[in-house]
Amino acid sequence: MADSPTMRAGYEVLSELPKVRHESPMLSLDKTKEPAALRDWLNGQEGLLSWKLDGLTIVLTYRDGKLFQAATRGNGEVGEIITNNARVFKNIPLAIPFHGELVLRGEAVITYSDFEKINAEIEEVDAKYKNPRNLCSGSVRQLNNEITAKRTVRFFAFTLVRAESGQEQDAFHPETRAEQMAWLRSQGFETVEERLVTPETVEEAVAAFAEKIESNDFPSDGLVLTYNNIAYGEGLGRTSKFPRHSIAFKWRDEVRETTLLEIEWSPSRTGLINPVAIFEPVELEGTSVSRASLHNISIMEGLELGIGDRITVYKANMIIPQLADNLTRSGVAPVPEVCPVCGQPTRIREENETKTLYCVNEECPAKKIKQFTHFVSRDAMNIDGLSEATLEKFIDERMIAEPADLFHLDRCREQITQMEGFGEKSFQNLLASIEKAREVSVAKFVYSLGILNIGLANAKLICRQFGNDIEAVRHAGREELVEIEGIGEVIADSVVAFFADEKNARILDDLLKEVTFLKEEETGDRLAGKTFVITGSVERFANRSELKAEIERQGGKVTGSVTAKTDYLINNDNQSGSSKNKKAKELGVPVITEEEFLALLGE
């Protein structure tokens, strides 16, 4: 059999994932949330309605009947080659009957049931994966395909790009999308569920799909409607943003009513203590949800939250749990007067009409743990194998007291290998990750230090201004910093205060003995002086971080909230009623899609 276990045996570890340019751009689709709009869109034609699975789009190429290459969608133009990982997907045929060159596209997904099994094996709450899509994305892009094999990734084909052969009579040129899907199934592929529709039946079909959401084991964020007649659809061409042969239908936010059980207060590395709503579990978008961040005291007050209140919750962009409303509004839950971790007094701060709670104890254990967690995070030093729970154990066992100690964990081999969850192999993998982290960009290094108010974007702006010279950055004055576009007085004061602190200076000196700085790649200036906010899901880029990196590479800045200083809000669903969209419209900030963003770059 093509997909027999014996043909999949053997794993391989790569040093990187090579890039590949797609033979034709993979464009995003126009969207609607109105079923009636689909009826009008069909314009009298027959269509094929199918799930829009929420995973990672993959392009497969077969030659001579065998899997030749698998690549991610990437930014739509360039993806990453993941052939080794695709070979260990649960249901991809490694050999097929067709012996010409076959190119098809589909979605790699992890089912809800497999997602729950994987998370159930992880004891630490903070180490659990957030949702199937994130887990799938990380699994598909692993350098070690043995890890991918354990993640039960599945592939569902959704379109045939081409099936060519040296013998024309052997090529496959169907007239309809339905024929494409049937042929792909005959080749051994699992396909997305589809249904033929007309303008008269499409709304009924949407309702039928909607009824399956709660019992569906596969994550989906909507439907895709495609003209069944291939020549008709392709003949319509494309707009500057989207192809005209297909349209995406997005589900409206699913809202559930539940009861507020408590407010949990979660300390951060900066001393900020975030309120988190804990409520009776509800099913949202196919997963059980029981907690949502409230962000600050002002939001609590606005919702007039009291324990036992009836609240409504939803998932923003079908991912992040949020409180929609408080139906009973019994009053504001009490704010703790002492830190839940160290027991020292808390303080309420008010800035820009927003109240936040802080622990003022500089030696609070929660701060130290969170600071280490931040230091090793992906956007900072990127040291794999160090969860918050592991770091807490290392701190408790006095193996680490400051960040530089991480680079000498080789001295603690006996202690670490005897810890639960750690063996010799895990220990060696950790050491390899630490060694790799010794080479880092100046901006990521500065970000890793955990300076108050400094995100990676601001760190890049500052480091770029000072020629990526760490000594120039640490000795920069307030006046020099505020001259940088996008750096205000608050940020400048944070930077100056951090480097002026004797304890921080000692920590920095110790770290500088352990790292070497990478030479920064050349950057452009097409977005110089422009400030962006990104919201919603992205399709032309692998993730928001990649889009953010491109903006910064072109001299722009990315912030988290829309203000009068924002130049553009990037949101593919630019007609949504999200809070960021509403704020942008109030302030007259243009809301643009990824396609329009790329147009700004002249791409």
Q: Where are the domains of the chain?
A: 25-250, 256-359, 365-437, 442-517, 531-600
* Residue 324: predicted pLDDT: 86
CA 541 to chain centroid: 11
Domain 256-359 sits in CATH 1.20.970.10: no
Question: Average pLDDT of 19-27?
Answer: 82
More confident residue, 519 or 481: 481
* Residue 530: predicted pLDDT: 87
Q: Is 50 exceeded by the pLDDT of residue 597?
A: yes
The whole-angstrom separation of Cα 48 and Cα 97 is: 26
pLDDT-derived band at 575 (thresholds 50, 70, 90) equals low
pLDDT-derived band at 307 (thresholds 50, 70, 90) equals very high
**Helix ranges restricted to H, 418-528:** 424-437, 442-448, 456-465, 470-474, 478-482, 489-500, 502-512
Q: Strand pairing partners for 78?
A: 21
Instruction: Encode pLDDT of 556-569 as tens digits.
Output: 888 878 888 899 99
DSSP state of 95: B
Number of helical (H) and strand (E) elements in the chain, helices listed first: 23, 24
pLDDT-derived band at 63 (thresholds 50, 70, 90) equals very high
CA angle 370, 376, 380 (to 5 degrees): 105
The whole-angstrom separation of Cα 87 and Cα 101 is: 18
Q: Is 80 exceeded by the pLDDT of residue 320?
A: no
Q: Quick one: fold of 442-517? A: DNA polymerase; domain 1 (1.10.150)
CATH architecture of 531-600: 3-Layer(aba) Sandwich (3.40)
pLDDT-derived band at 2 (thresholds 50, 70, 90) equals very low
Is it true that 365-437 and 531-600 share their CATH fold?
A: no
The whole-angstrom separation of Cα 195 and Cα 187 is: 20
More confident residue, 158 or 392: 158
CA angle 211, 217, 222 (to 5 degrees): 55
Question: Average pLDDT of 110-123?
Answer: 81
Question: Average pLDDT of 82-103?
Answer: 92
The whole-angstrom separation of Cα 419 and Cα 426 is: 11
More confident residue, 502 or 241: 502
* Residue 38: predicted pLDDT: 94
Cβ count within 10 A of residue 603: 11
Mean pLDDT of all residues belonging to the chain: 85
Sign for the CA dihedral angle at 507, 513, 515, 516 comes to positive
Q: Strand pairing partners for 461?
A: none
CA angle 152, 187, 24 (to 5 degrees): 80
Give buried/exposed letters for 107-130 (b at 16+ CB in 10 A, else e). Answer: bbbbbbebbeebbeeeeeeeeebe
Q: Quick one: fold of 365-437? A: DNA polymerase; domain 1 (1.10.150)
> Of 434, 431, 425, which Cα lies nearest the Cα of 383?
434
CB 424 within 8 A of CB 503: no
Q: Strand pairing partners for 206?
A: none
CB 112 within 8 A of CB 218: yes
Tell me the CATH number for domain 25-250: 3.30.470.30
pLDDT-derived band at 295 (thresholds 50, 70, 90) equals confident
Structure token digits, residue 414: 């006996």
* Residue 223: predicted pLDDT: 93
| Residue 203 Cα distances to 49, 89, 228, 306, angstroms | 11, 34, 17, 41
Q: Is 60 exceeded by the pLDDT of residue 123?
A: no
Structure token digits, residue 147: 């890890």
* Residue 486: predicted pLDDT: 67
CB 283 within 8 A of CB 254: no
Which amino acid is residue 409, in one-letter code?
A: L
- Counting residues of the chain whose pLDDT is more than 70, the rounded percentage is 90
The whole-angstrom separation of Cα 257 and Cα 284 is: 11
Which amino acid is residue 573, in one-letter code?
A: D
More confident residue, 118 or 124: 118
52 is catalytic: yes
CB 3 within 8 A of CB 94: yes
CB 228 within 8 A of CB 196: yes
The whole-angstrom separation of Cα 220 and Cα 211 is: 13
Q: Is 60 exceeded by the pLDDT of residue 126?
A: no
* Residue 574: predicted pLDDT: 67
* Residue 11: predicted pLDDT: 60
Phi, psi of 306 (to 5 degrees): -140, 150
Question: Average pLDDT of 218-234?
Answer: 91
Q: Catalytic pick from 31, 33, 52, 212? A: 52
In a 10 Å sphere around its CB, with 0-12 CB exposed, 13-18 middle and 19+ buried, how is residue 602 labelled?
Answer: exposed
* Residue 219: predicted pLDDT: 85
| Residue 179 Cα distances to 53, 99, 336, 463, angstroms | 21, 19, 63, 56
pLDDT-derived band at 542 (thresholds 50, 70, 90) equals low
